[in-house]
Amino acid sequence: MPVSIKSPEEIAKMRIAGRLAAEVLEMIEPYVQPGISTLELDTICHDYMVDVQKAIPACLNYRGFPKTICASVNHVICHGIPSANKILKNSDIVNLDITVIKDGYYGDTSKMFCLDKAPEHAQRLSKVAQECLYKAIAIVKPGARLGDIGHIIQVHAEGNHYSVVREYCGHGIGTEFHEDPQVLHYGKPGTGLVLEEGMTFTIEPMVNAGKQHTKLKKDGWTVETRDGRLSAQWEHTLCVTSDGVEVLTTRNEESLPF
């Protein structure tokens, strides 16, 4: 499918959906504590989206996914299914992936949470993964190419002795959850689709402490590192502007230069 160019009116609606997704992450942060289950986090997020935001939880029943959010703990790379049996410990790191639909438009974002006693090496992995995202966002502008995005992520991750997951990637987004283009988190500069004003897509690097290889659990959703080592991911939804980029899912805690 051709990559859609969003009108100013469409981008305005995506800005609202993106802000709502960011608000869910801001709302849930105080609850991400040792002793809470990922299912409890899911329920809190669901009720907030539906009852407070009057939004639709995009993940719920999407291609059969059974919950509202993805909660990926420690060695889970992505698409972790919230469970009453998964109780957070004070040494855990967890990614919460939030997607809402508002007035037919999607906002998609995720954040790593490092609990109080998460080891230093786990916190460093999370920090470098976030840096990968920010470095990639910083080069988004008309005329840049998707290969440039993948390359800068790959170089920073591998320069810190980590690896980048290959099988899962960012994606176009708008009135569909997943649109073209695919946004790979590795690649060669000067290759791939040329970015144009009005394109909207996610960048969501998945960075592993060990090797890049993944395995899919029998539930058909949960993706883990094959070697059992930690993984970290951060995600934002972006819009290419006339001279750069707008991050549609910025949280209030972030001070972004773009």
- Collapse the DSSP code of 187 into the 3-class scheme (helix H, G, I; strand E, B; otherwise coil) and give the result: coil
pLDDT given at position 155: 98
Average pLDDT over residues 72-91: 98
Average pLDDT over residues 190-213: 98
Identity of the residue numbered 212: Q
Structure tokens at 145: 């190419």
**Distance from C-alpha of 188 to C-alpha of 124, rounded to nearest angstrom:** 26
Identity of the residue numbered 201: F
Q: Name the percent of the chain in helix, strand, coil, to the closest 5.
A: 30, 25, 45
- Pairing relation of β-strands 245-247 and 206-208? unpaired
Residue 238 has pLDDT above 80, yes or no: yes
Q: What pTM was estimated for this model as a whole?
A: 0.97
- Collapse the DSSP code of 12 into the 3-class scheme (helix H, G, I; strand E, B; otherwise coil) and give the result: helix
pLDDT in tens, 25-67: 999 999 999 999 999 999 999 999 999 999 999 999 999 999 9
**Distance from C-alpha of 126 to C-alpha of 34, rounded to nearest angstrom:** 18
Residue 142 has pLDDT above 80, yes or no: yes
pLDDT in tens, 203-234: 999 999 999 999 999 999 999 999 999 999 99
Q: Measured in Å, how far apart are the chain's first and last C-alpha atoms?
A: 29
pLDDT given at position 257: 79
CB neighbour list of residue 182: distance below 8 Å, 6 or more residues apart: 169, 170, 171
Query: Distance of CA 156 to CAs 5, 133, 153, Å?
Result: 30, 10, 5
